[in-house]
Every structure is written in structure tokens, then in C-alpha cells.
Amino acid sequence: MNKLAKLFEGFNNNISLSESYKQKIRTGRNSIRSRIGNYFEQKDQQIPKHHTQGSYAMHTSIMPLEDEDFDLDNGVYLQGYDDNRECWPEVSNVHCLVKEAVQGHTKEIIDKDTCVRVVYQDNYHLDLPIYIMGKDDDGQEVAYLAHKKEGWIISDPVAFRNWFNDATKQSPTGSLRRSVKYLKQWIHHNKIDIPGMAVSILVAENFSDEGDDALTLLRVVTDIIDELEENYSCYKPVRPKTENLFSKHSYYDQSQNLNQLELLKNKLAEAIYDSKNQYEASIVLREVFGEKRFPIGEKDILNEEYLKTSEPEKVGKKNRHYA
């Protein structure tokens, strides 16, 4: 078996947000929050609360390359409304209010169906989804998102963040989060149609810590394939729990994604077991994760088990199906 721990450590460092980059986007986020608060105060409206959400809040964001964009989600939670949704403002009105609050902060403000987007010149944007906390038909408290086409709909990213953070407790070393980041980089590099939220759910639900990031990722990918071959779906673990994140995938999409996952599994197995040294293993992994991201290994760090194997056995290994 190849010794790949140092390579995966370097890989994780390469795809993780740098402290300077995190400071930059936090500065932009805090500036926007202040601007919204001041505007609402001028309009005699209660100042909204804010929650950072999405991959940044779950510590699974991927550092963008120089020419790539990065998005940060900042939930704007409106205050001063009771549980009676019939008394809530029109979705279009709250979108206009938030858009007016940030108008002029940058050259481009986009009013999307699910959020107001503030676009910065240096390749990142801040999404501002708008929420009101209310109660569902069963009297349970939940967040409602202002969706321009669908109205006020249940969507609770804070609940999802809490669910995911609870799931990471099964991985004290942080390998669950790292597995999510590795798969997100694989998806990004290969342009695979699997949403980031689905990756987080599938990893959390199929996680098994093998004590080594390469082995852990191989085990997780194998179990994800087994699950999706049995039932190609990915339901949110928080309300609305009936939302299938793969509902728009055609049969062709399903086949493509499963084929890509199978290819990733085989490449991981080849790098771990069937490459004669760390260098050759890294060449295999750079194919699936990207040359700019995955480090180059060393030729003198050998796979001792591979070298002891006879040539016929090596051929057999190359053709085996990894369980």
C-alpha cells in the first residue's frame, strides 16, 4: 500500500481557504451587514439578523484558483413579524428593500429568484437570501425563504449547518470535512453535476474513518456508489425533507454520475494499491483532482507490497473490482 498521508495533507492545504482570503471575504460580508442595518434603521425597520451559511459556515469551502469565482452566503433574517404568514410582506417587496440597501456598494447587484447577489470585482460575490422565522403547519418553528417565483417557502440552512456539524462529531480528526472537500474538488475539476449540499449529505451518511485520508475516501466513495445504485436520490435531512437534490437528474445524468464515481473509486484504488511508488500514485490522483491542486509524490517512497507481488498477480489486481 502506498504511503499517501503527506500528499493528502498537502492536497487539503492547497484547496483550503487561506487566512488572507477568509479575511477579505469577511470584510466584505461585515461591510454589507452594516450597510443593510443602517438602511433598515433609516427606513424605521427593525435591523435584520445575519447568519453566514453554506460551505463557508461548515468549513468545507474550496479555495478558488486565480481566475475562478467564489460565493459566500449571508442569510438576512428579517425581524418584527409574527407567526401569521398572511401578514408577511410580499416577497418582491423584501427583495427590493434589500437590493436598495446594498445598491451602489459594488458596480453589479443582481436580484435573483432566491437571493440578492452583490458581485465584487476580484472574483467573488456575496449572496443575500432573505428569511423570516415562522411556524409550519404543525406549529414547528422553521425559516422561510423569500423566493420570487414560489413565495415564502420553507428553507432552513442554519438547521442544515447544525445537522452537518453534528455529523462531523463521528470524525474527531476532521477527516469527514476533508472528504467533503476532496470530493468537491473532484467535482469542480471534472465538471460533474452533483450539488455541493448533496456531497455533504452523502459523505456524512456514508462516512467511515479508516485512519488514513486516502483509505477513508475510497471507503466513502464505494459506499456512496452502493447507496446510489440501490436508490439514486439524495433527500435533505432537514425541512423540507421531501426535497430530493437529484430530482432534476435524467437517466443519462444518473448513469454519467455513477460512471464518474466508479472511475474515481478505481483511480483511488490504483493509487493506493497498484502504483509502485508514491510518485506514480500522485500522477494517477492528479488526473482526478487536478495538477494545480494535488502534490507530486516522491519516487523513492515505495509501495513495498506492490514490489513483492508477481507480475501475473499485478495484472489481476489491475482488473479487480474494489469492494
Instruction: Tell me the β-bridge partners of 70.
Output: 124
| pLDDT score recorded for residue 321 | 44
**C-alpha cell of residue 204:** 456524512
Rounded to whole angstroms, the Cα distance separating 62 from 180 reads 10
- Ordered per-residue pLDDT tens for the chain, 323 residues: 999 999 999 999 999 999 999 999 999 999 999 999 999 999 999 999 999 999 999 999 999 998 888 999 999 999 999 888 889 999 999 999 999 999 999 889 999 999 999 999 888 899 999 999 999 888 889 999 999 999 999 999 999 999 999 999 989 999 999 999 999 999 999 999 999 999 999 999 999 999 999 999 999 999 999 999 999 999 999 999 999 999 999 999 999 999 999 999 999 999 999 999 999 999 999 999 999 999 999 999 999 877 776 555 554 555 444 55
| pLDDT score recorded for residue 196 | 95
Listed residue (43, 154, 51, 50) closest to 93, CA to CA: 43
The single-letter DSSP state of residue 18 is: P
Rounded to whole angstroms, the Cα distance separating 52 from 126 reads 10
Listed residue (293, 94, 26) closest to 185, CA to CA: 293
Rounded to whole angstroms, the Cα distance separating 293 from 245 reads 28
Q: Count CB-CB contacts under 10 A for residue 174.
A: 13
| pLDDT score recorded for residue 313 | 58
| pLDDT score recorded for residue 317 | 54
Q: Do β-strands 116-120 and 108-111 pair in parallel, antiparallel, or remain unpaired?
A: antiparallel
Please classify residue 302 by burial: count the beta carbons closer than 10 Å to its beta carbon, then call 0-12 exposed, 13-18 middle and 19+ buried: middle
Q: What SS3 class is residue 10?
A: helix
